[in-house]
Amino acid sequence: MEGGPFHTVASQAPDSPAVGGDAACGTGLCELSGGHAQGVKTPGAERVDRHKGESRRARAPATGRGYVLRVIYGIPFWIQNSDHGRKKIARDGGPHGHSSSSLAGVVRAPKPGGQGRGVHARNQHMKAGGQVVEGAMPHPICITCGTQFEESDRPPDRCPVCDEERQYVNARGQIWTTMDELRRAHRNAVIAEEPRLTGIRTEPGFAIGQRALLVQTPGGNVLWDCVSLIDEETERAVRALGGIAAIAISHPHYYSSVVEWSRAFGGAPVYVHAADKAWMMRSDPSIVLWEGETHRLPGGVTLIRCGGHFAGAAALHWPDGAEGRGALLTGDTLQVLPDRRHVSFMYSYPNLIPLNGAAVRRIASAVAGFRFDRVYGAFAGRVIPSDGRGAVERSVERYLRAIHD
């Protein structure tokens, strides 16, 4: 690659590898009845930061009227039918426990022809309290995929990451937010997954809802995948664990606000496979484009190009994980399923477009030369705790049987 703010590095084979928050609903609008919104805790996991013990229970307004809890673009709202039959929206107090005034009709379906006050209109963004704002905004963040864009005088007309068959444009249209607005309505939970591995996920859930994983190694910590929100509280928690020496991303849906994360930790290099360069929506000198099939990072962890979901879709091999038996961190490249005994494969997860047999065999071949007993997926609780290698092999066989004509 020539020019631009990216660095390109050649492939690098590993030294003799041994041989053998659930996602958000994806619609932007979820409905819960008779309950409260809360994160999913990995079995056996220990929360590192309890956010000063503040409750995350979504509280209904103090009234005798009936309410239903809806999660709109990752923010919980209690919705009430007024005496006049018109819905009123009272935002939940969220992590700080402050209620806001009623917001009648702020979120509504687009009118035919794209006219009217709907939040779908271009060059609009939503503030934490639900207010729709016109005009310029610093580094807009797409609320559907969580990708942060370059600063501009006007928000982009579209999000290329969403306006593509592997993702989707929210049914209510393209809406943007900012880091400041995210910080007002959300915070990150920092949770120990196992010794020297820490999960970071945003609460309430935002965009796709994935977690990042911080791997502590003797050569410095590696952040695997990313979330859109970074704030002072998260920085303090990560620095207490040793900071970040490098960041590696599995595929473009999790690029998120990776440049903000890099800058918060002294310009830590961000490793992205060169095949997916076109999907990087915010450029920065910290971005390193790696090429080939594997690339070694500090501390002995190895990036593995698998392809499938994206041309450069990758997994991360951590040989010291699972008490020395090895762990594979897969993002969406190999999707850990709710039974915690299988993985699966898709070209598009939200649109249910499967991969062909050749692509799945390539993924299986890419990870076959690495020793691992545990598999960490993209979402909280999605972990195959043991026999991960066998689980991947059985999953490949099951998948190929299912698609066979």
Q: CA-CA distance, 229 to 234, in Å (whole number)?
A: 9
CB atoms within 10 A of CB 171: 12
Note the pLDDT of residue 108. 25
- CB-CB contact of 245 with 298 (8 Å): yes
Q: Can you read off the two tokens belonging to residue 10?
A: 């050649």
Note the pLDDT of residue 405. 56
Quote the distance between the C-alpha of residue 277 and its chain's center. 18
Note the pLDDT of residue 21. 34
Q: CA-CA distance, 351 to 332, in Å (whole number)?
A: 14
Note the pLDDT of residue 30. 37
**CATH, range 7-24+188-198+209-403:** 3.60.15.10
Question: Helix (H, G, I), strand (E, B), or coil: what is residue 73?
Answer: coil
Note the pLDDT of residue 42. 34
As a whole number of angstroms, the longest Cα–Cα distance in the chain is 71
- CB-CB contact of 24 with 30 (8 Å): yes
Strands 46-47 and 141-142: unpaired
Determine which helix (DSSP H) or strand (DSSP E) holds 198, and give its type and residue range. strand 197-203
Note the pLDDT of residue 154. 82
Residue ranges per structural domain of the chain: 7-24+188-198+209-403
Q: What is the mean pLDDT of each run of 10 residues along the chain (405 residues)?
A: 50 36 36 32 37 38 39 43 34 30 25 32 48 66 96 88 95 92 96 98 97 97 98 98 98 97 98 97 96 96 98 98 98 96 97 96 98 98 98 98 85
Q: CA-CA distance, 327 to 54, in Å (whole number)?
A: 33
